Chains A and B, each alone.
Chain A
Amino acid sequence: MAGLPSYPSGSPRWLLAELTYRCPLQCPYCSNPVDYAQHQDELSTEAWCRVFSEARALGAVQLGLSGGEPLIRKDLSALVAHARELGYYTNLITSGYGLTEERIAELKSSGLDHIQISIQAPEKTLNDKLAGTESFEQKKAVARLIKAQGYPMVLCVVIHRQNIHLMNEILEMATALGADYLELANTQYYGWAHLNRDQLMPTRAQFETAEAIAQAYKEKVKGQMKIYYVVPDYYEDRPKPCMNGWGTTFLTVAPDGLALPCHEARILPGLDCPNVQDFSIKEIWEESPAFNHFRHFDWMEEPCKSCPEKIKDFGGCRCQAYLLTGNMKATDPVCSKSPLHHTVEEAIDLAEQDRVSGEPKPLIFRNSGNSKTLG
């Protein structure tokens, strides 16, 4: 755009394929839409293969196979084989639940590059409670099977108030499982996590203690285990550069074929995201109103509009702005310059009230029943 050369323009590099919303687990921080039960249609094998081919032709090179639980798709190996043949780097993002030695071998021979599994907590009772399904021992066994098949162990643990006090134990578990990479993902408050925010958000003191433990451990295991630490942005004073800029890098395709500029964008009103069954990926990326909606800077309101930092953070996250302020064009209220920054402080206060109340609200688990009731 003339006069605004600083907005990154580009082709998609990352394709996140959410193959299904079905999942045997019920994690209360799931990032899937709360109303997922209303979107039960799933693209066919052929449709996914076409999506992979078209996105690859545009320049996508990293492929995330996610869900829901992607292992539920019986055609997973066929999809991996097609993607690998196209030259994608294929990442399977799974709970690990239900993964067998035979299935890992089959995925490996199809060309799968990497498997990331998640564990909810470093001990059985809490893990199984958070997952809503008895899965702790099975996940640990799967972690060992993945290593045994010659894959590095990439472990993800989502961090929140129910497990943040166990940071030492989480790190020790990762070491015991021989993790090569550990992602400590502080909960981002979208989807089900937004619904359960009061029960999930840690206090600033809890977050700072856990971060100090993780950073010290990172130094200790340097060269053996790489630790990625995803910061919780409610305690930052500047927003994250969401999606590296809208429509610059990331393309998500939901199970029903909806193409999304970010995997939460389904919630944004009036965005009218296109479906891959109606348009080519090239048309979607280049021409669709949804993918152009927050490109560049013209859509911004103050204080973003005149802020020199807009070229760094693009005004932050559109979904977070919408969830906290009701206005998807607003400055992400995480930003201390936002006139609605108090909405973040209020959210922190509500979580603190829940924590000290002595009677915390029950967690709402991610399952079809709750999705139908609440969605």
Chain B
Amino acid sequence: MIQDTTRFGLSPLYRLQWEESQQRFVMLYPEGMVELNGPAAEILKLCDGTRSFIDMVNALETAFDTKGLRSDIEELVQAALDHGWITLLP
């Protein structure tokens, strides 16, 4: 359950990296890779263990100068949790 105060970190073994040849961010893990679109990469970059979920929403809404991103962000974060790319931090 994602709450305002929930924090996330990349799972052990996962690495988020800019790929110059592909001109996009990728998520790397043992013997595999996920190519990320722009919004997904922006959200996952903020899963750095320091920010709470509400901080992430605020940061992205400020960065893109828009409101109402919360449900989109929550959906992607939930998918990333389900895939095991990120974990909930205590």
Contacts and interface: CB of A to CB of B under 8 A. Distances in A.
B62 interface: no
B33 A116 contact: no
B26 interface: yes
B90 interface: no
A211 interface: no
Interface in B20-72: 21-22, 26, 28-33
B33 A13 contact: yes
A61 interface: yes
B12 A62 contact: no
B21 to A, nearest CB: 4
Interface string A219-235: 00000001000000000
B13 A152 contact: yes
Closest 8 CB pairs of A and B: A59-B21, A89-B28, A114-B30, A152-B13, A91-B31, A154-B30, A152-B12, A114-B13
B21 A62 contact: no
A113 B21 CA distance: 21
A64 B31 contact: yes
Given A87-B17, A89-B15, A226-B84, A61 B26 contact: yes
Given A11-B21, A226-B84, A62 B13 contact: no
Interface in A66-117: 87, 89, 91, 113-114, 116
A59 B19 contact: yes
A252 to B, nearest CB: 14
Contacts of B31: 62, 64, 91, 114, 116
B22 A59 contact: yes
B19 A116 contact: no
A148 interface: no
Interface string A127-158: 00000000000000000000000111010000
A64 B33 CA distance: 13
Interface string A276-305: 000000000000000000000000000000
B33 A62 contact: yes
A125 B32 CA distance: 34
Given A61-B28, A150-B12, 10 more contacts: A61-B17, A62-B28, A62-B31, A64-B31, A89-B15, A89-B28, A91-B30, A116-B31, A151-B13, A226-B84
A154 to B, nearest CB: 6
A27 B26 CA distance: 36
A58 interface: yes
Contacts of A113: 13, 15, 28, 30
A62 B19 CA distance: 12
B6 to A, nearest CB: 17
B32 A61 contact: no
Nearest to B82: A223
Contacts of B29: 89
A281 to B, nearest CB: 13
Interface in A143-200: 150-152, 154, 181
Contacts of A151: 13
A368 to B, nearest CB: 29
Q: Which of B12, B17, B26, B31 has the most CB of A within 10 A?
A: B31
Nearest to B32: A62
Contacts of B33: 13, 61-62, 89
Contacts of B30: 91, 113-114, 116, 152, 154, 181
A152 B87 CA distance: 14
A59 B35 CA distance: 13
Nearest to B17: A87
Contacts of B12: 150, 152
Contacts of A58: 21
A150 B13 CA distance: 10
A18 to B, nearest CB: 15
Nearest to A60: B21
Contacts of A13: 33
A150 B12 CA distance: 9
A171 to B, nearest CB: 19
Contacts of B17: 61, 87, 89
